[in-house]
Structure 1
């Protein structure tokens, strides 16, 4: 028996609408401006996201939200990852309905995640104890970090936060795949596009395969909301994002890590996201426990 999972017309329209919004409000020039002013969050953009329902997506309509579900949130966060959208998106989304102003984008909410806190200086509300947090040099110029020394009693990561991070990682994998193919088609060596060479073909094919496997896992987890499915999706999405960005870097050659290209920004964001709660060993241990049960 085979099962086919297809997005509904409304879901495809939502995904396309979010992509259009982000391309208009946070295109490549805006990304570059943000890189040039690290640590500063664009409040106007944040309110625009709130007006579009980004943070209130899963709130019921009677509470002033959009009234959609986890599957739709995953599609939206996939597009955010693809666009390199900065800010504590997951924390603010999860705080909608409990922290005043979060749903509409008037309040920026961040949360202590293990030993790390993203965007601490720009946040209006911090969930968790970050009083002793110290600035930490971040690999990603679009994600300022603080570290909470001697963090103890760290609670298990919220499964929804883990899944939305996986969706962002999926968006990164999608985007670096697009960049790799575009470069392989246009960059020429020895009188022909580099995409004609077998080594480059294999890199692009592997990148696509990992992305599509991660997509299936992330979408399925959004439907089941099962913790084990979410853990598996996170592992696959982290791998697709990090290894995909590395492969994209290989396709671009030495220029991929220069400031002229965006590839290294995607790789650095994927590295930082992979450190969030629910990634790596945490997901592996959850899956191992489920298999042993």
Structure 2
């Protein structure tokens, strides 16, 4: 187990180092895998990629009805109340199957923002719908290309009305609810809940590298909103949401990385050149070995992140950042090398390799790029190294 940043408690450190998922949790994972094998073949992924819909509505409904989206939501708000370990394993299987669903936006970010900062009324109004898949949430931060910083936020809220533009907003085409970062009347930066069915909201599709995760330009013109959390605490709340979402997204990434590795391995065993399996060639062996090592390193960091998230450890910022960095590197390496193993055919639309390559690059940027998370990791572990 890779431990990021250590722990102030010897007991906590031993617990983290010995962590593994229980048999019941692994049985849940296997159940999710069986469902996705049946309901999310590659044809479903391609149908969303080739179409205009932002996700597979039928699959979203089935996953919601099965309770998998609600694993970490308390029962009082329509959830299952199982916990974050279960949600991590659900995320891993969604990544393995390339599920074309708005999980990063709705489950890992919007729902978590409500759990962290929402009032009882806001939770009661939105969490049951998000947990069941009846509604889709998203987070609207950026307003221009590049890293989102406090100085880059121009959207404003005056008299409970939001005006401004957010781009690109992940899953913004289909979302019902947006958690929006904007300037409040005191000049601070706060989070606000915006019902995207309200007046003054317009949407415009934005193309991205992964056509199974549709984005949008959201424009707000005096749209009624509600404050989420304390005024002026937008960035602090976002940091907490990002740490939770980073762990969950990292599990999607290692699920995808594992699928890409198996895809490359299977092809290397089936493809013959010069009378031999290409998997017997040293260059292919080394490529597959590098993929395996990167995946297992990421898996160990993700397990540590899952433990830290499940117990709300004070090491979560470091654990989340290390999981995010390692999983991003693993998925990008595995998806790129899978194309190489397949040779010239791997670059064609007909082969499925590019679907993982696209998803890996989308997820690498979904919560901020690699440099952001490397900086967050350094900032989290520096005080412990001093």
Q: What TM-score do the two structures reach when normalised by structure 2?
A: 0.70
2:332 — aligned with what? 242
1:178 — aligned with what? 262
**CA–CA distance in 1 between the matches of 2:277 and 2:203?**
49
Task: Kindly indicate whether the alpha-carbon contact (under 8 Å) linking 2:305 and 2:319 is maintained by their aligned counterparts in 1.
Answer: yes
Superimposed CA distance per residue, residues 58-96 of structure 1 (whole angstroms, 9 cap, x where no aligned partner):
123344322222122111101111111123213322445
2:80 is the alignment partner of 1:80:
no
Which of the pair is proportionally richer in strand?
A: 2
1:36 — aligned with what? 50
**CA–CA distance in 2 between the matches of 1:249 and 1:113?**
33
2:354 is the alignment partner of 1:264:
yes
Say what the alpha-carbon RMSD is for the aligned residues: 2.4
Displacement of 1:275 in angstroms is 0.9
**CA–CA distance in 1 between the matches of 2:46 and 2:80?**
31
Measured at CA, do residues 87 and 110 of structure 1 come closer, stay the same or move farther in structure 2, by a change above 3 Å? Answer: farther
Superimposed CA distance per residue, residues 232-260 of structure 1 (whole angstroms, 9 cap, x where no aligned partner):
11000000001111111110111112122
1:65 counterpart (79, 86, 103): 79
2:365 — aligned with what? 275
2:215 counterpart (145, 159, 170): 145
Question: Which secondary structure state, in structure 2, belongs to the residue aligned with residue 106 of structure 1?
Answer: coil
2:255 is the alignment partner of 1:188:
no
After TM superposition, the structure 1 stretch with the greater mean CA deviation from structure 2, 169-178 or 4-13, is: 4-13
**CA–CA distance in 2 between the matches of 1:189 and 1:29?**
29
1:123 — aligned with what? 175
After TM superposition, the structure 1 stretch with the greater mean CA deviation from structure 2, 127-136 or 2-11, is: 127-136
Task: Kindly indicate whether the alpha-carbon contact (under 8 Å) linking 1:218 and 1:233 is maintained by their aligned counterparts in 2.
Answer: yes
**CA–CA distance in 1 between the matches of 2:341 and 2:251?**
24
Task: Kindly indicate whether the alpha-carbon contact (under 8 Å) linking 1:162 and 1:279 is maintained by their aligned counterparts in 2.
Answer: no
Aligned pairs, how many? 290
2:191 — aligned with what? none
Q: Structure 2 unaligned segments of length 5 or more: list them.
A: 1-12, 116-122, 144-167, 182-195, 220-233, 310-315
After TM superposition, the structure 1 stretch with the greater mean CA deviation from structure 2, 197-206 or 47-56, is: 47-56
Superimposed CA distance per residue, residues 112-163 of structure 1 (whole angstroms, 9 cap, x where no aligned partner):
25453112111122221695875432111211223579xxx86435211111
2:137 — aligned with what? 109
Task: Kindly indicate whether the alpha-carbon contact (under 8 Å) linking 1:54 and 1:93 is maintained by their aligned counterparts in 2.
Answer: no
**CA–CA distance in 1 between the matches of 2:382 and 2:173?**
43
Q: What TM-score do the two structures reach when normalised by structure 1?
A: 0.91
Measured at CA, do residues 113 and 257 of structure 1 come closer, stay the same or move farther in structure 2, by a change above 3 Å? Answer: farther
Displacement of 1:278 in angstroms is 4.7
**CA–CA distance in 2 between the matches of 1:132 and 1:64?**
30
Measured at CA, do residues 126 and 31 of structure 1 come closer, stay the same or move farther in structure 2, by a change above 3 Å? Answer: same
**CA–CA distance in 1 between the matches of 2:202 and 2:58?**
30
Measured at CA, do residues 113 and 248 of structure 1 come closer, stay the same or move farther in structure 2, by a change above 3 Å? Answer: farther
**CA–CA distance in 2 between the matches of 1:166 and 1:32?**
23
**CA–CA distance in 2 between the matches of 1:270 and 1:11?**
26
2:251 is the alignment partner of 1:199:
no
Task: Kindly indicate whether the alpha-carbon contact (under 8 Å) linking 1:60 and 1:66 is maintained by their aligned counterparts in 2.
Answer: yes
**CA–CA distance in 2 between the matches of 1:262 and 1:38?**
20
1:209 — aligned with what? 293
Q: Structure 1 unaligned segments of length 5 or more: list them.
A: none
